[in-house]
Chains A and B, each alone.
Chain A
């Protein structure tokens, strides 16, 4: 039910609507719940509405953290990663 997918905005339409691209499938959605969305932005699409904009810098930081935190070999002590507590 709370299933939602990241989609890219390809065109803004009048009346708080937009066309988005979901892995090659284009669909018209509502932007009534979000602010300041531009063409090229990724949004989380849920039941026809964009719920939130995705933050690319934060996404990259999270991916880097996966790599850092996963570097512990079995039996080794946990690495102390600076900034491990994501704000």
Chain B
């Protein structure tokens, strides 16, 4: 090998080593920035009818997690069902033209609430087109059927040093309000009454400190012991067509604790898209 070739080779190898070492040390940052977690779907399922109420049932899949369930189903008086009989609640998930069932066996009783646990038998489905709820009797006949409403949701977070709204999420026309948790448990004895006012900013350019610049879309009042550190989920259906998408709104909540003496403790917290501790 000629001398000039040797020096060229050495210079190129040196440059390659520098670039190679940079590639090695920057790989983690590159991977983190490039390959984010892919969420296949995230739905909150609901049925709101007098004879059947489904709430808090989540259907979620990303590259490493899957949930299907963790909700409750309340069945009212349904003519086609007989009290004391065994039935199967079957969620029929339609994916790519095929139907897949997720079953929960129950014994029917009027006005009974059933807890639907997490069930991962359909975790391989990568998309969900529509969902139907069927109640099937022991002869495999469908005795009740209802279309399930799917809300494509995203998680939102709301917290300060002592208080946090857990498991809140929104879609364009729906919000699961979450529930209040606190590290200060004395607040329940000190202030037995609570009021939570969920609101959004009316005019984004307006004064954020002005209370008249907010639309209160949901107000919850009750005993502190029923709403603090208790998984008591409530939902809100939003009229997207006349009021615009909830996803574009700046959401916040005003929490008012009060007692019999007329003393109050009020504070507000903003909802954000970023989780924090």
Q: Do A and B form a real pair?
A: no
On B, residues with C-beta under 8 Å from A are none
On A, residues with C-beta under 8 Å from B are none
